[in-house]
Amino acid sequence: MDSRRLRNIFGQFASGVTVITCAKQDGTPHGATVTAFTAVSLEPRLCQVTLTRASKACSFLAGAPFAVNILAADQMDVALHFAGRPASPEPVWEPGPTSPVLAGTAATLSCIPWREYDGGDHVIFIGEIVDAQCRDTSPLLFYRSAFHDLGAPSGAAAWNGSMDDPHSGWFDAGTSFTPLHLATATR
C-alpha cells in the first residue's frame, strides 16, 4: 500500500485541529499544527501528541514543557500559519503556565513532559496536564484534507441520557447488581 493511499484512509477519521506550542532554546515561542492529539488518562492527567520526526517542533519538544492549543472554529488562519502559510497579522501569543500559548483557542492544555516513544517516522509525546483552560466555543475540525466546523447538533444523539451512558453511573465500579432470581425470592 503506498503512503498516499494510507494517508487518504487516515483522512477518513475526522479530528480536531491543535497547535502544539513550546519555547525554543532561546526562549522564543514556536508552534506546529497537529491533528494527532488524544486524551490518554484522567489519573494521572495525560494527553498525547504525535509529531513528524523530521519537523523542527519535534526537536524543540524533546524533554520540554508544551501546550496543546485546541483551535476554535474561527482559527483556520492560525492553523495554516503554523502549517507553513504565514498569516498577517501573526497569531497572538500569551504567556502560559508551562510554555507560550495562543490567544482565542477553544481550549488549552499546558503540559510537562511525561514520556516519549518511538513512533516510526513520528515521535509520540505524552504530557502531564498541569493546567487546562476552556472557552464555550466550537472547535475547528479536519476531515479529508479540509477544514470543517461542527455544524448543527444532531437530534439523533442516543448516547446522551441513555442507560448505557457511563456518566449516569449505571456501569461504574461502585454499582452492584442483584440477580433477578434472588430479588424475587426475597419478596
Euclidean distance between CA atoms 170 and 167, whole angstroms? 8
With cell 519538544, the residue in question is 61
Going by C-alpha positions, the residue among 42, 47, 22, 45 that lies closest to residue 32 is: 22
Q: For residue 145, what pLDDT is reported?
A: 78
Q: What is the pLDDT along the chain (187 residues), one digit of tens a residue?
A: 788 888 777 776 678 899 999 999 899 999 999 988 999 999 999 999 999 998 888 889 899 999 999 999 999 999 999 999 998 999 999 999 999 999 999 999 999 999 999 999 999 999 999 999 999 999 999 888 777 887 776 665 555 555 555 555 555 556 666 667 676 665 5
Q: For residue 174, what pLDDT is reported?
A: 62
Going by C-alpha positions, the residue among 81, 107, 84 that lies closest to residue 96 is: 107
Burial per residue of 68-85, b for 16 or more beta-carbon CB atoms within 10 angstroms, e otherwise: bbbbbbebbebbebbeee
pTM score, whole prediction: 0.78
The DSSP secondary structure of 26-51, one letter per residue, reads TS-EEEEEE--EEEEETTTTEEEEEE
For the chain, which domains are there? Answer: 3-151 (2.30.110.10)
Cβ-contact 69, 81 below 8 angstroms: no
Pairing of strands 37-41, 46-52: antiparallel
Q: For residue 155, what pLDDT is reported?
A: 60
Give every CB contact of residue 129 below 8 A, 6+ residues apart in sequence: 45, 46, 47, 109, 110, 111
Cβ-contact 142, 35 below 8 angstroms: yes
